């Protein structure tokens, strides 16, 4: 075989190998994901974000919003008090204040005993395994994906263990419809608040690829109003 033929065969086989690799794995680096698959993963993750855990039994609510929350031990900041009393107002739970003469109580800490009602059991999604009840306060439906691309997180920004430096990530942007549940609407009405309307919002979601399960998983999201350039939350860096 002369030199020209050898050169031709070398180039031909080199091109064929590259084409084969592109067919088997079209993107070198981050694994791709279709928009439909991304929607399924993100919708589940976002719907889980809109689930509230209502503790049952003795709970402690701090005097201000700076109280370090510890849901496993039923310790919450003052913001949670309004949430709890809303569920009490519509008969989902019964809340009784526990009076004591401790120094923490004198400084504004409140203790309550919380019991689930039959209405609460019927409206709950279930329990979290610790006897606390789960309630959905909104439903998410993604209507459009506008971007689905490889993403390199600012790893030092995230808490230790939150994300894996060696993993592949994708950033997905889109639009979703947020619809509040009947339970949430009932709470707003009972508290004399304006019943929230369904609305379209924008989101950006971070997905992480698991090479062992060969699929992406939902990490977290940010959301914002469609008519605003900025985001209400800004946790993805």
| 9 or 79, which is more confident | 79
Give the Cα separation of 230 and 204 in Å (integer): 12
Contacts of 66 (CB under 8 A, 6+ apart): 77
Axis crossing angle, helix 79-89 with helix 182-190, rounded to the nearest 10: 100
Distances (CA, A) of 107 to 34, 61, 69, 93, 104: 54, 12, 17, 26, 5
What average pLDDT does the segment 77-105 reach? 90
Strands across the sheet containing 126-127 = 51-54, 133-136, 126-127
Over residues 15-69, the pLDDT tens digits come to 454 444 444 444 445 689 999 999 999 999 999 999 999 999 999 999 898 899 9
Residue 76 clears pLDDT 90, i.e. is over it: yes
Q: What is the reported pLDDT for 1?
A: 56
Give me the pLDDT at residue 25, please.
43
Q: What is the pLDDT of residue 23?
A: 42
The answer to whether 202 and 226 are in contact (CB under 8 A) is yes
Question: Per-residue pLDDT tens for 178-208?
Answer: 999 999 999 999 999 998 889 999 999 999 9
Determine the pLDDT at residue 163: 82
The answer for residues whose C-beta is within 8 angstroms of residue 70's C-beta and 6 or more apart is none
pLDDT in tens, 134-169: 999 999 999 999 999 999 999 888 887 788 888 999
Phi/psi for 84 (5° steps) reads -65, -45
pLDDT of residue 202: 98
Query: Which pLDDT belongs to residue 27?
Result: 42
CA 32 to chain centre: 21
pLDDT of residue 15: 45
Least confident of 78-92, 118-132, 148-162: 148-162
pLDDT at residue 157, as a whole number: 87
CATH of 29-50+137-225, one of 3.30.1370, 1.10.287, 3.10.450, 1.20.58: 3.10.450
Q: Which residues contact 234 (CB under 8 A, 6 or more apart)?
A: 222
> pLDDT tens for residues 94-122?
999 998 877 676 677 999 999 999 999 99
Closest C-alpha to 29, from 156, 153, 166: 166
Whole-number Å distance between alpha carbons of 234 and 237: 8
CA distance 212 to 168: 12
Ranges for all domains in the chain classified under CATH 3.10.450: 29-50+137-225
């Amino acid at each position: 075989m002369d030199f020209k033929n050898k050169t031709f065969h070398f180039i031909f086989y080199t091109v064929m190998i590259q084409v084969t690799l592109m067919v088997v794995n079209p993107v070198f680096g981050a694994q791709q994901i279709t928009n439909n698959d991304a929607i399924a993963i993100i919708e589940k993750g976002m719907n889980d974000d809109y689930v509230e855990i209502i503790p049952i039994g003795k709970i402690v609510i701090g005097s201000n919003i700076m109280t370090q929350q510890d849901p496993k031990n039923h310790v919450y900041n003052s913001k949670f008090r309004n949430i709890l009393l809303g569920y009490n107002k519509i008969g989902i739970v019964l809340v009784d204040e526990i009076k004591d003469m401790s120094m923490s109580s004198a400084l504004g800490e409140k203790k309550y005993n919380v019991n689930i009602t039959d209405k609460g059991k019927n409206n709950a999604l279930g329990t979290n395994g610790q006897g606390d009840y789960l309630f959905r306060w909104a439903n998410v439906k993604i209507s459009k994906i506008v971007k689905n691309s490889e993403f390199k997180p600012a790893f030092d920004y995230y808490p230790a263990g939150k994300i894996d430096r060696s993993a592949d990530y994708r950033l997905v942007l889109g639009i979703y419809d947020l619809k509040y549940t009947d339970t949430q609407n009932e709470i707003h009405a009972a508290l004399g608040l304006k019943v929230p309307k369904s609305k379209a919002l924008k989101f950006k979601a971070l997905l992480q690829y698991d090479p062992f399960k060969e699929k992406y998983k939902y990490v977290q999201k940010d959301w914002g109003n469609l008519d605003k350039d900025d985001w209400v939350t800004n946790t993805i860096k």
